[in-house]
Amino acid sequence: MTEQDAMTRLAAANPVPEAEVRDSATSPRALFLQRAVLAQPRSRHRGFAGLEWRYALVPAALAAVAVAAFAVVHRTSPPPAPPVQAGASTATPQSILTAAATQAERESPRGQFVHATGTIARIVHLGPGAGYDVIRVDSVQSVQPAAGRPGEGWLTIGERGSSVRPLTAGDAAAYAADGSPGPAELPREEEQTLHPDLAGDEPYAGELGDLPEDPARTGPAMLAWLTEAGRGTPADPQGWLFRTGTKLLDTFTDVAGSTDRAKIYRMLAGLTGVRTLESAADPLGRPARALAYTAPTPRYGVVEWQVYLGPDSDRITYTQAVVRQPGAANAGLPAGAVQYSTAVTTVTWSDKP
């Protein structure tokens, strides 16, 4: 059987309608891979009952996305090297973040708009009583003005394709008895978000250009803005700066120019409590530089926020929040479960939105 024959048979058996993602694929192979990503089943321990969003994802569940993401972005490149353990590297949070700042400053103009695609996944609990669990995977697509240019961007979640599957064989019977609800029938948050707020953080809405260039003064200026805006002082200022700074640099929503991106990276390099991770690859198997910050939260227990940067750029390609000790809002999750994650699969520049 040829590769084309195999792809044809697998595509015919894929439950994700081709029409839902055709517009976002750049080739027949990319279309095949995107449908494969959205159709992947998931497996994990059952959580607490109730009809609500459940933000949890086992890292191994995205293994198929790794193949698709790497194939779409690097079709002509060799497979990524195996993960390198921390002992083989002398990288520190300061060296990684300082290098990212330098890369941001050196980024040359490539187009007026940045186009990014990827996926997010959320576990949803359905039904009365013990209920059952399904996994929803949504596509993500965004277009933002590049390099701090004026203008407005946009972001969509699920418009290029979504899928729903029962988590386990035990959930399958309850899912079928409930009419096998599709993506449109699942409960959603009032406001969709890429990064659920687990720590109760107040958002930063100040002007990045007004922040001091001195890295030692950038963070205090951001905290001062919170106070002046009547939003108080975070219980963990270092954690707030890490989470807020990395959100400002998010690939899907970032509109900052290279100077402001470098400013935020240098602020992050001066924080305490940030550390490197052991692996030199992200959960999708792609080479990456990884950082983490761990802290207790009001309702979600002890959480470790992880950020992965591409090896040769200052772009964040993957983020996830790992539960190290469950809390009241996620008591049914085992330690090590991923509370939420986002994955960037393609980034391109063009002069058209």
Q: Is residue 258 part of a domain?
A: yes
CB count within 10 Å of CB 13 equals: 8
Q: Which domain holds residue 138?
A: 16-350
Q: Is residue 270 part of a domain?
A: yes
pLDDT in tens, 35-60: 554 554 433 332 322 223 333 333 33
Q: Is residue 4 part of a domain?
A: no
- SS3 (DSSP) at 132: strand
Q: Is residue 1 part of a domain?
A: no
Give the pLDDT band of residue 30 (cuts 50, 70, 90): low
Q: Is residue 99 part of a domain?
A: yes
Bridge partners, residue 306, by sequence: 292, 320
pLDDT at 144: 92
Lowest mean pLDDT among 110-114, 139-143, 286-290: 110-114
Q: Is residue 122 part of a domain?
A: yes
pLDDT at 19: 57
pLDDT in tens, 247-283: 999 999 988 889 999 999 999 999 999 999 988 899 9
pLDDT of 74 over the 80 cut: no
CB count within 10 Å of CB 235 equals: 12
Number of domains forming the structure of the chain: 1
* Mean pLDDT of the 326-331 span: 82
Q: In angstroms, rounded to a whole number, what is the distance separating the alpha carbons of residues 20 and 139? A: 10
Cα-based distances in Å from 180 to 123, 126, 166, 212: 15, 11, 9, 54
Q: Is residue 143 part of a domain?
A: yes
pLDDT at 50: 29
In degrees rounded to 5, what are phi and psi of residue 208?
A: -60, -35
pLDDT of 221 over the 70 cut: yes
Q: In angstroms, rounded to a whole number, what is the distance separating the alpha carbons of residues 173 and 171? A: 6
Which two structure tokens, joined as six digits, stand for 244? 């807020």
Q: Is residue 2 part of a domain?
A: no
pLDDT in tens, 148-206: 788 788 999 988 889 888 766 777 998 999 999 999 898 876 567 788 899 999 999 99
